[in-house]
Structure 1
């Protein structure tokens, strides 16, 4: 399998490692920080607009951008069919056979996804996170390194659960919300807020997706 990564930063490096660990190939890394197309160590680089010259039926795309709202904005800009996107799972991840994944999602090293969990589109399951049984992680969400979702947790669209956070069973976290690193979520959290601490408390409302 061949991949084009949209984004060329630290996050894209980890995704590239995951792809290569599966013996697949990254043929291009496109980012609007580049003004023209060039080749670097057998990989094409250039602006995102160069995708039209590189994409073919044997090539999949991953939006290799860690910021959730930016990832959604890029998908809206590209307007590509879902079949164009790949799903990348590092071989060290432990994935239940009953778990399901959407397109464009990346699963980093040492992730665990247990029985009957549902993972949406363009989700990031970052290094060493645990998604227990019957969880739902909706599209454009990001479960950060070593975060733990215990059984039956629901994380809505665009939300980020910070590194080493834990979420109690059956908790619901709203859309486009931020859970701070190291937090313990023991109550439901609404949409468009930032919550931090042990236990997690709301500290601000998010006026835009970029807050």
Structure 2
């Protein structure tokens, strides 16, 4: 399989490694910081508008941007058919055969996804996170390195769970919220807030998706 990344940054470097570890090929890295097209080693580079000239049956696209809201904006901007989006899974990941994985999603090294969990579209499961049984991770969410979601957790659209955080069983975390690194979630968290600490407490409302 051949992949094109939208976003040429540090996060994109990790995704590129995952693509290559899985035996696939990365052919282009597109980013609007580039004003024109050029070749850099094995990769084509240039602005995001180049994507239309690269699409083919054997090409899959990944939005390689860690910021959830920007990832969503680019998906909305591109208006690509869903069949053009791939899924990248590092070969070291352990995934239950009963788990469901959506398109545009990236699963980094040493991730664990256990039975009957549902990972929706354009999700980032970062290095070494654990998704226990019966969890649901909705579109554009990001589970940071080393975070642990115990059984039956719901993480709603656009939310980020910080590095090495833990979430107790059956907790529900609302849309476009942020859980700080190292936090312990023992109660439900509403939409559009930042919560930090042990136990996690709300410290502010997120009035914009960039907060």
* 1:75-114 pair list within 5 angstroms: 75-114=75-114
* 1:101-180 pair list within 5 angstroms: 101-180=101-180
TM-score by length of 1: 0.99
Answering whether residue 196 of structure 2 is matched by residue 200 of structure 1, we say no
Matches of 2:54 and 2:89, distance apart in 1: 23
Matches of 2:93 and 2:22, distance apart in 1: 12
Matches of 1:153 and 1:22, distance apart in 2: 29
Give every structure 1 segment of 4 or more consecutive aligned residues whose post-TM-superposition deviation is greater than 4 Å.
none
**Structure-2 residue corresponding to 1:43:** 43
1:53-90 C-alpha deviation (Å, 9 max, x unpaired): 11111100000000000000000000001110000100
Matches of 1:171 and 1:73, distance apart in 2: 28
Matches of 1:56 and 1:98, distance apart in 2: 30
How far residue 195 of structure 1 moved from its aligned partner, in angstroms, is 0.2
Matches of 1:195 and 1:189, distance apart in 2: 8
Matches of 1:132 and 1:119, distance apart in 2: 12
**RMSD over aligned Cα, in angstroms?**
0.4
How far residue 29 of structure 1 moved from its aligned partner, in angstroms, is 0.3
Q: Say which SS state the counterpart of residue 116 (structure 1) adopts.
A: coil
- How many pairs align? 211
TM-score by length of 2: 0.99
How far residue 149 of structure 1 moved from its aligned partner, in angstroms, is 0.2
Matches of 2:183 and 2:195, distance apart in 1: 8
Show structure 2 runs of 5+ residues with no match.
Answer: none
Q: Say which SS state the counterpart of residue 187 (structure 1) adopts.
A: coil
Q: Say which SS state the counterpart of residue 39 (structure 2) adopts.
A: strand
How far residue 189 of structure 1 moved from its aligned partner, in angstroms, is 0.2
Show structure 1 runs of 5+ residues with no match.
Answer: none
